[in-house]
Structure 1
C-alpha cells in the first residue's frame, strides 16, 4: 500500500512540473469586462476533456487585448481554486 501511495504522489508531482499543454481554439465570444472569453477548442488531453465550446475566465483581462471573435488561437489552462482559467493566449498563424 505504501508503494502505491508513493507512486501516485510521484505521478502527481511530475504532472505538476510538466510544461503546460497548448490547445488550439477559435474565439467565439469575448467579454473583457468580465475577464472572460468563449472558446471552441480541441480536446485538452491533460485534463481528459473532449473538444467542445465553453466559456473560460482569464487570469487577467489584459490577456484579451488584440483579440477578436473568429481569431484562431492557442491557449493554456490551469486551475484557479475550483475553476479552470486561461493562463496564456496567443494568435495562431
Structure 2
C-alpha cells in the first residue's frame, strides 16, 4: 500500500514538472535570423517568466546551432531567460 502511494506521488510530481516546463513556452514568428551575430528577431506572445508583453524584438540564442533550425516566416515555440544580463532564447521548438 505504501509503495503504491509513493509511486503515485512520484508520478504526480513528474506530471507537475512537465506542466511547469511547458508553461514557459511562447509562440512566435521568426522575423529575421542573423547567424553571424548569433541573434534572431521574433514577433512573440507574452513571456510570463520575464514579465514581458507581446512585441517584436531581437534575442540572443544560447546555442548558435539553434539558428540553423529556423528561417524567417517560421512559426515556433521558444523559451527565453536572462543569461549574463541579456534576454536569451534557451530552447526552440516548431510550433503552432
TM-score, with length taken from structure 2? 0.73
1:55 aligned to 2:69? no
Which whole-Å CA distance do the structure 1 matches of 2:85 and 2:43 have between them? 21
What is the root-mean-square deviation of aligned Cα atoms in Å?
A: 1.4
Which consecutive residues of structure 1, in runs of 5 or more, have no partner in the other structure?
1-17
The 4+ residue runs of structure 1 with deviation greater than 6 A are none
> Among residues 35, 41, 46, which one is paired with 1:43 in the alignment?
46
Structure 2 partner of 1:70: 73
Match of 2:88 in 1: 85
What is the aligned partner in structure 2 of residue 32 from structure 1? 35
1:67, distance to aligned residue in structure 2 (A): 1.1
What is the CA–CA distance in structure 2 between the aligned matches of 1:67 and 1:82, rounded to whole Å?
24
Q: How many pairs align?
A: 76
Q: Which has the larger radius of gyration?
A: 2
